[in-house]
Amino acid sequence: MDAARQRWATRAEPPGALGRLEELAVHLAGVTGRCPPPVPDAPAVAVFAGDHGAVDDGASAWPQVVTAAMVETMSAGGAAICVLARGIGASVTVVDVGVASPLGHLANVRHERVRPGTASIARGPAMAVSEAAAAIDAGARIAAELLDDGADCLIGGDMGIGNTTAAAALIGTVCGRPATDVTGPGAGVPAGGPDHKQRLVAAAMRRVEGCADPLELLAGAGGLEIAALAGFYLTAARRRTPFITDGVIACAALCIADLLSPGTAGGAIAGHLSAEPASGLALEHLGLQPLLDLDLRLGEGTGACLAFPLLRAAAATLAGMAALPAHPPTPGVD
């Protein structure tokens, strides 16, 4: 990172003229351990899907079957993430780590199902600790495979009706904020209204209050796709590969990953600021500044995909920009 800063100081521009693009290039140099950092040109997207038992308690305006329907849409290449991934030349792998509805054979879908959805976090633990660990392992395995196949930037996405309830509970617990601060509308305000969703989040937070073990916290109030994303990020950080986080679900996963392996968040690039309130609180807690703020709240990895061209621009500019020519001496002056 010091070498990258020194290189910027010699480029053909006024110091700091490229603003946060310079900071991003310095960050990439630190992540990769190279100056200038490699220009990423083989991004890979993995979307982890899982259902949430809190939907049965009225956590969402949508039923659980929508998760399976969206997995099918992603498999066919019709989801927003598929469109945006094609725009940046990224592959898309959809991973079933916990969809409640049965899925037949679908193209481009990996079946790594740990269990068919979680239990309701408003009434008890979402899953067993061993199941949370298994989902983390699944995400780590997918990341390793993508990197071994040549990916040089990883983008994690999520799909799961009810998952903003779990993400809010995790972020609220990690950041020490009440349910009222972290609960947003998600995919749509449930029939019971925002106050009902806040009560579900608060109930989950009370159960895991004081939990010192991040794996136990994840099992108590999280989701299978959140666990898989945490494993995905842990592997990317360990392999010194840039990874771009997405919305509030990704923020919850990164909070857990950073608890499991302190310093993981330091290798992340925050793609965007989600419209969900817990997103900004988590990013502030992790010391990350998002690249984009477009009022997105879709998930899937969409905001992270939109941020990828900025990574390419930052790395390419630092690598390809000419050095500032030395000023020739003025005649007659020593």
Please report the pLDDT score of residue 333 as a whole number: 47
Q: 176 φ, ψ to 5°?
A: 65, 40
Residue-range domain boundaries for the chain:
43-308
What CATH number has the domain spanning 43-308? 3.40.50.10210
What is residue 155's three-state secondary structure? strand
Catalytic residue among 22, 112, 225, 300: 300
C-alpha distances in angstroms, 160 versus 68, 85, 334?
9, 19, 71
Given a contact cutoff of 8 angstroms between Cβ atoms, the answer to whether 226 and 251 are in contact is no
128: its two tokens: 């067993």
Q: What is the pLDDT along the chain (334 residues), one digit of tens a residue?
A: 999 999 999 999 999 999 999 999 999 999 999 999 999 999 999 999 999 999 999 999 899 999 999 999 999 999 999 999 999 999 999 999 999 999 988 988 999 999 999 999 999 999 999 999 999 999 999 999 999 999 999 999 999 999 999 999 999 999 999 999 999 998 887 778 889 999 999 999 999 998 999 999 999 999 999 999 999 999 999 999 999 999 999 999 999 999 999 999 999 999 999 999 999 999 999 999 999 999 999 999 999 999 999 999 999 999 999 998 876 555 554 4
Beta bridge partners of 270: 245
Amino acid at 325: P
How far, in Å, CA of 178 to CA of 198, rounded? 9
* 82/78 Cα distance (integer angstroms): 6
Asked about 131 being catalytic, the answer comes back as no
Whether the ω angle into residue 36 lies within 30 degrees of 0, i.e. cis, is yes
- Whole-Å CA distances, 64 to 39, 55, 90, 101, 160: 40, 7, 28, 8, 8
